[in-house]
Every structure is written in structure tokens, then in C-alpha cells.
Amino acid sequence: MLPLDLHTHSTISDGLLSPSDLVARAARHGVRALALTDHDDVGGIGEASATARQFGIKLIPGVEISVTWRNHTIHIVGLGIDPTNAALLTGLETVRSGRAERAERMAQSLARVGIGSSLEGALRHARNPRLLSRTHFARFLVEQGHARDVKRVFNRFLAKGKPGYVSHRWADLDSAATWIRAAGGIAIIAHPGRYGIGKNLMRGLLAEFRDLGGSGIEVVTGNHTQAQFHEFAALAREFGLLASAGSDFHGPEESFMDVGRLPELPPGCATVWARHWQELIQ
């Protein structure tokens, strides 16, 4: 098991644990370095850092930025960012206002299939009203009995092509990479196996991302298969990108993988921690 986890969520976005509770759980699971990477918001990093100090573990400030690249939604994780950087904060603010506008359209779309008041309902499930995610709508829909659990709600209502799904334009890939680098961080493509894009498009994405100054891709993540660990380890090597690893933990009952429960990477990977956080592997 790896003693680190470089992709996790708290109640600042669509996670179920507060930043402090997340850090405490990570420490209990033997994590020595944890990145908090909430969607489009860095508001949890202060609290997470303070708790990490108490537990004697390292908190790597992070963020997961929503991006639209050639009509696909791609997530870019920034690690080691300065959460007070003005360019980053302004960029994230723009993405969040897009979320607010999208949430209204989602609610209208759900109203057309007879589900009313979903914006208010989703907001009740969001601790941070600045950051409304499909996950908050999902939890409201489960609460209302429209499906048994969050995964089923996504399949029925919130995935692309379903009644609660509306298309949306997120940040550009270039902008996200620029904000992360401006804030002194490194940019990583999150869960590359989840985008459902073909091999050629994936190669196009990796080449463009590398040329924009991107540093790495997640090789190990909550919903990659063993075969995908190897596939993306090979692609990272081929494109000169570093390998990263993160659970994408959201909450004890909702996630594929718990925080701090990451298997080892395939042998021979050049990892982000060997390059940037040497002390973690000593």
C-alpha cells in the first residue's frame, strides 16, 4: 500500500467529510502525505493543513479543475499550489459561477421530468453553497427516493444523455494549466481512464497537455482497473509524463477506493513524489 494519496475531496466540494475529518481518516489509514483536491475551490486547505500538522502528516495543497477539451469534460488536478495565488483564485471563481448557472439549467431540466425544487434540494446537501456539483443533486434525488444510491442516480438521471444532464463549457485546458503553474503547482490529468475517449484522442490529449506544461497523469486511481494501471503507466512513460496516484475518495459509502488504500504503481514508473516530494519515499 502506498503511504500517500494525491486526490481526495471534502465538504468544500462534493466530499462527505470535512477537511479535518478527511485528514484524520487519512492519518488513521497510515497516509504520510495527503493532497486535498476539491473541485474548483481551495477553501478547505487552511483547515486541512492545520489538522495535518496536529497529526504530523504532510498536506499537499491541491485542486481539481473542471475543463472542456474538444467537447469532453476533463479534470486537471493541481498539486503543490499556493492557495492564495490571485490568478488561480480568479480562475476558480469563474468556473464556480459557471457551476451556479449550470445548476439552474439542471433544475429546469429535471423539472421537465416532474422533479421539482431540485436546486433548493441540492443546496441543502451542499455545505459550500459556492460549489454545487452533480453529486449534490444526486444525493437529493436519492433522498427523494428516485433511486437507491448515488451511482444509480447518475446512471438514470445525471450521466450524459439523461434528463438531468445539461451540457456545459468549463475552463480551457490551457487556462487550467496556466493557473496551476502560476500558483507554483504541477498539473496532472485526473483519472484518464474515465473519459471514454479512444486511443488516438487520448494521445492527442497527452501531447497537448505536455506541450502546455502539464507534468503528469494519474496511473492509479479509484476506478482504474489493473489493466489500466499498466496502460497509463506505459503512456506516461511514452509521453515523458510523471505517474501520480490518488483514490478520488469522496466518502466512506460513495467511493470506489477509501482514502489511503492505494495499491503500488507498476514497476518502473517515474512518480510525481520521487520528482517533487523526495522526502516522502525515504
d(CA 78, CA 229): 21
Alpha helices in 128-198 (DSSP H): 134-143, 150-153, 173-182
Q: 53 vs 23, 48, 57, 171, 201, CA distance in Å?
A: 10, 9, 6, 33, 42
Q: Which is nearer to ligand AMP, 32 or 99 (CB)?
A: 99
Candidates 179, 5, 223, 225; CA nearest to 83 is 179
Is the separation of the CB atoms in 28 and 132 below 8 Å? no
CB of 179 to ligand AMP, least distance (A): 17
Instruction: Find which of ligand AMP, Mn ion, none residue 96 binds, CB within 5 to 8 Å per kind.
Output: none
Work out whether 191 is an interface residue with ligand AMP (CB under 6 A). Answer: no
Q: Which is nearer to Mn ion, 14 or 40 (CB)?
A: 14
Instruction: Find which of ligand AMP, Mn ion, none residue 242 binds, CB within 5 to 8 Å per kind.
Output: none
Binding site for Mn ion (CB under 5 A): 14, 64, 75, 190, 248
Report which residue's Cβ sits closest to Mn ion.
75
Segment contacting ligand AMP by CB under 6 A, of 43-51, 86-94, 129-137, 258-266: 129-137
**Strands (E) located in 125-274:** 186-189, 216-221, 242-246
Candidates 200, 196, 246, 239; CA nearest to 219 is 246
CB of 264 to ligand AMP, least distance (A): 25
CB of 158 to Mn ion, least distance (A): 12
Q: Residues 160, 125, 123, 189: is their CA dihedral positive or negative?
A: negative
Residue whose cell numbers read 469534460 = 73
Size of the site for ligand AMP (CB under 6 A): 10
Interface residue with ligand AMP among 53, 70, 72, 151 (CB under 6 A) is: 151
Residues facing residue 8 across a β-bridge: 249
| Sheet-wide strand order for 4-5 | 4-5, 33-36, 58-69, 72-79, 186-189, 216-221, 242-246
Q: Which is nearer to ligand AMP, 156 or 210 (CB)?
A: 156
CB of 60 to ligand AMP, least distance (A): 19
Work out whether 134 is an interface residue with ligand AMP (CB under 6 A). Answer: yes
Instruction: Find which of ligand AMP, Mn ion, none residue 72 binds, CB within 5 to 8 Å per kind.
Output: none
Interface residue with ligand AMP among 69, 154, 157, 232 (CB under 6 A) is: 154
Residues 13-72 that bind ligand AMP (CB under 6 A): 14, 39, 66
Is the separation of the CB atoms in 249 and 222 below 8 Å? yes
Residues making contact with ligand AMP (CB under 6 A): 14, 39, 66, 133-135, 150-151, 154, 250
